């Protein structure tokens, strides 16, 4: 017998046919149970040391040890143990499938239950090696959870596919409308100019009709170019035509073009481009496109007379910052997310001309240059669109 | 030195074990291994508290995950100094599950601090993940600022446990 344990199940086993008293039967059953070696009772003294182990060879070596060291699951439970000891806590403390992990240590599952032993007045700790049962249980839990996670992943994928499909349908409906409107102007005006009575039009009237055809054609071309750009960016087929660029020139040109936009005519444009920026390695046309998209976006949403500020500078850590700030209504974060999605179109944006592709295109072009687009905004506080491009694209020998 | 019991609670598959393993072993595994019952991890850390480096010893309880807190989780939090409640930032149900665990912990361990961690934040491509996930709602409800963590990259993990440690010290536990 080890440390007070009952090791021999055959000892005191009932003979066949012999009737047992209730107490004797209980004692025999307990001996059989504890003789398996995977179960034990630890009696704890008042200092929470292991005073005695009954049964369970695996646990015999811990007699005299601090119970909190041997059974770390009891750490933090000292108050509860004291309440159980004093009888203030009628419930036993019970933890199932406890295992102790450290790097490289295989888990050993143990069930643990602490109650007051009414005979000795000591805390009794029932320990059971959950062993094979726990391992089977764990396999079941693993399979159940994996199934549930796979189901969740499928549901998420389905929801995303549906949302993408809805966004594309909505985009197609919107783009059809955007294409039809200028096309109607082109067809309508061309018909007027082709009629026999067209000869009666004054040259100024005829020029107006032709001018509308031209501007509608330009709008259509812009739309189609945007769509091609976005499509190429999405498939990764967009190619940059890179060379050394004069950022001051690009900023100035973009700003000049923006002031001529329909939405830009009644806005105040402010340029704060650093005149001493070194040459920058990039695609000049795409860099202009980035600035123009941001400027036209700002013009679209700014109130009449509102200031639109363009900053082009090298940040202290070396990156190029292209920033357009407006005094428009700004966006809340949920709107911002939609505005940045390739097929997103804000309700507020629908009141204005355009496909709503401006920001996604800027983001793609920035990424193709190795940078990114960041938006700083809040409702009522305007919007600050910031494109940051790698400092490594500046001409060598011109570090900030 | 006193050992503090820290329970890590939440739904299954949210990355509780991964967060702990990132914190304790600075390791990450892609494979999913379900936790049965509870796994205990001993760990000592040094925390800057009131400008003084202070050593703390944790017994971290990695509790089996479940979609909602049940009797098992309630039993496991007995004697906990603090809890880290973890949600999966990519799941629509994260807010609800984290709230349920926070309520359970407040009820079972009144006056004990807890932190809220939204894991897998590396998978959230949003300019303002806090707003996207509606985390300000939890801040208002529990007075606890939710944290974004990624066991994969390690972002926010040490901070989450150390924040808990600071609170344990601040509460004088």
Structural domain that includes position A230: 135-235
Exposure pattern of A57-71 as b/e (b: 16+ CB <10 Å)? bbbbebbeeebbebb
Residue ranges covered by each domain of chain B: 3-170
Average pLDDT over residues A153-175: 84
Average pLDDT over residues A37-42: 82
Distances (CA, A) of A122 to A258, A284, A330, A357, A398: 86, 84, 69, 75, 80
A17: in domain = no
| Residue A345: pLDDT band with limits 50, 70, 90 | low
Each residue's pLDDT tens digit, A290-335? 999 999 889 988 999 999 999 999 999 899 999 999 988 888 777 7
What's the gap between Cα A331 and its chain centre?
Answer: 20
**Predicted local distance difference test score (pLDDT) of residue A319:** 94
A175: in domain = yes
- Beta-bridge mates of residue A270: A309
Distances (CA, A) of A66 to A41, A70, A371, B116: 15, 6, 59, 34
A9: in domain = no
**Angle at the Cα of B7 (from B6 to B11), degrees rounded to 5?**
155
Distances (CA, A) of A245 to A323, A351, B108, B137: 17, 36, 65, 48
Q: Which of B2, B32, B34, B173 to mutate to test the interface with A (most CBs of A within 10 A)?
A: B34
Residue A338 or A157, more confident: A157
**Predicted local distance difference test score (pLDDT) of residue B126:** 67
Least confident of A190-194, A258-262, A355-359, A374-378: A355-359
The Cα B144–Cα B117 span in angstroms is: 10
**Domain shared by A90 and A170, yes or no:** no
**Predicted local distance difference test score (pLDDT) of residue A3:** 34
- A-B Cβ pairs (cutoff 8 Å, strict): 103
Q: So what's the ipTM on this one?
A: 0.85
Residue A62 or A33, more confident: A62
Taking only residues 126 to 145 of chain B, the set having a beta carbon closer than 8 angstroms to any beta carbon of chain A reads 126-128, 131-132
**Predicted local distance difference test score (pLDDT) of residue A338:** 73
A68: in domain = yes
- For residue A105, what is the nearest residue in chain B, using CA coordinates? B41
Q: Which CATH number do you get for residue A313?
A: 3.30.565.10
**Domain shared by A202 and A258, yes or no:** no
**Domain shared by A209 and A265, yes or no:** no
Which chain B residues are Cβ-neighbours of A93 within 8 angstroms? 78
Residue that is last in its domain, among A73, A99, A129: A129
Average pLDDT over residues A202-217: 89
The answer to whether the Cβ–Cβ distance between B76 and A95 falls below 8 Å is yes
Closest Cα to residue A4, out of A167, A95, A120, A94?
A: A120
Whether A6 has a pLDDT exceeding 50, the answer reads no
Min Cα distance B87 → chain A (Å) is 14
**What total number of domains does chain A contain?**
3
Closest Cα to residue A389, out of A306, A324, A317, A336?
A: A317
Check residue B109 and report its DSSP letter: S
Each residue's pLDDT tens digit, A132-144? 888 899 899 999 9
Q: What is the CATH number of domain B3-170?
A: 3.40.50.300
Q: Which CATH number do you get for residue A169?
A: 1.10.287.130
The Cα B167–Cα A219 span in angstroms is: 60
**Predicted local distance difference test score (pLDDT) of residue A400:** 45
A400: in domain = no
Q: Across the interface, which of B4, B42, B78 has its CB nearest the CB of A77?
A: B78
Residue that is last in its domain, among A129, A153, A188: A129
Residue that is last in its domain, among A129, A145, A169: A129
**Domain shared by A278 and A375, yes or no:** yes
Determine contact: B54 vs chain A, CB below 8 A.
Answer: no
**Domain shared by A251 and A375, yes or no:** yes
- Beta-bridge mates of residue A94: A113
């Amino acid at each position: 017998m080890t440390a007070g344990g009952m090791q021999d199940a055959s000892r005191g086993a009932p003979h066949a046919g012999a009737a047992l008293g209730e107490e004797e039967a209980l004692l025999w059953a307990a001996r059989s149970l504890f003789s398996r070696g995977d179960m034990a009772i630890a009696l704890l003294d008042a200092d929470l040391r292991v005073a005695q182990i009954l049964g369970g060879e695996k646990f015999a070596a811990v007699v005299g040890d601090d119970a909190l060291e041997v059974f770390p699951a009891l750490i933090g439970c000292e108050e509860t143990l004291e309440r159980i000891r004093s009888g203030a806590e009628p419930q036993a403390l019970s933890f199932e499938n406890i295992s102790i992990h450290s790097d490289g240590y295989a888990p050993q599952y143990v069930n643990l239950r602490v109650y007051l032993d009414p005979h000795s007045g000591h805390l009794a700790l029932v320990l059971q090696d959950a062993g094979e049962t726990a391992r089977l249980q764990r396999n079941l839990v693993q399979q159940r959870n994996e199934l549930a996670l796979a189901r969740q992943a499928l549901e998420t994928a389905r929801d995303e596919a549906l949302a993408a499909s809805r966004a594309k349908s909505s985009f197609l409906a919107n783009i059809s409308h955007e294409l039809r409107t200028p096309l109607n102007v082109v067809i309508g005006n061309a018909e007027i100019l082709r009629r026999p009575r067209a000869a009666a039009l004054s040259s100024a009237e005829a020029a107006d009709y032709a001018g509308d055809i031209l501007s509608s054609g330009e709008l259509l071309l812009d739309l189609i170019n945007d769509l091609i750009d976005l499509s190429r960016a999405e498939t990764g087929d967009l190619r940059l035509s890179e060379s050394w660029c004069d950022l001051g020139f690009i900023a100035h040109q973009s700003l000049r073009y923006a002031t001529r936009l329909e939405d830009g005519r009644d806005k105040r444009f402010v340029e704060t481009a650093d005149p001493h920026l070194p040459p920058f390695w990039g695609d000049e046309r795409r860099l202009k496109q980035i600035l123009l998209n941001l400027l036209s976006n700002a013009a679209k949403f700014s109130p009449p007379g509102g200031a639109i500020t363009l900053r082009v500078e090298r940040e202290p850590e070396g990156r190029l910052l292209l920033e357009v700030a407006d005094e428009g209504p700004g966006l809340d974060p949920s709107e911002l997310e939609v505005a940045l999605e390739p097929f997103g179109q804000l309700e507020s944006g629908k009141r204005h001309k355009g496909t709503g592709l401006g920001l996604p295109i800027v983001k793609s072009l920035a990424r193709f240059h190795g940078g990114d687009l960041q938006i700083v905004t809040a409702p009522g506080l305007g919007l600050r669109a910031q494109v940051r491009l790698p400092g490594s694209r500046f001409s060598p020998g011109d570090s900030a | 030195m006193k050992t503090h019991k820290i329970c890590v609670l939440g739904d299954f598959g949210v990355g509780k074990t991964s967060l702990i393993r990132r914190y304790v072993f600075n390791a990450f595994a892609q494979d999913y291994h379900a936790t049965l019952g509870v796994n205990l991890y001993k760990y000592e850390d040094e925390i800057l508290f009131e400008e003084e480096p202070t050593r703390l010893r944790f017994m971290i309880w990695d509790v089996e995950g479940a979609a909602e807190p049940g009797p098992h989780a309630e039993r496991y939090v007995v004697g906990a100094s603090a809890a880290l409640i973890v949600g999966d930032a990519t799941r629509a149900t994260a807010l609800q599950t984290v709230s349920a665990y926070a309520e359970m912990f407040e009820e079972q361990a009144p006056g004990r601090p807890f932190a809220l961690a939204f894991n897998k934040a590396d998978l959230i491509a949003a300019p303002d993940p806090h707003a996207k996930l509606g985390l300000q709602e939890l801040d208002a409800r529990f007075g606890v600022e939710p944290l974004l963590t990624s066991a994969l990259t390690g972002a926010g993990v040490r901070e989450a446990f150390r924040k808990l440690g600071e609170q344990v010290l601040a509460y004088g536990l």
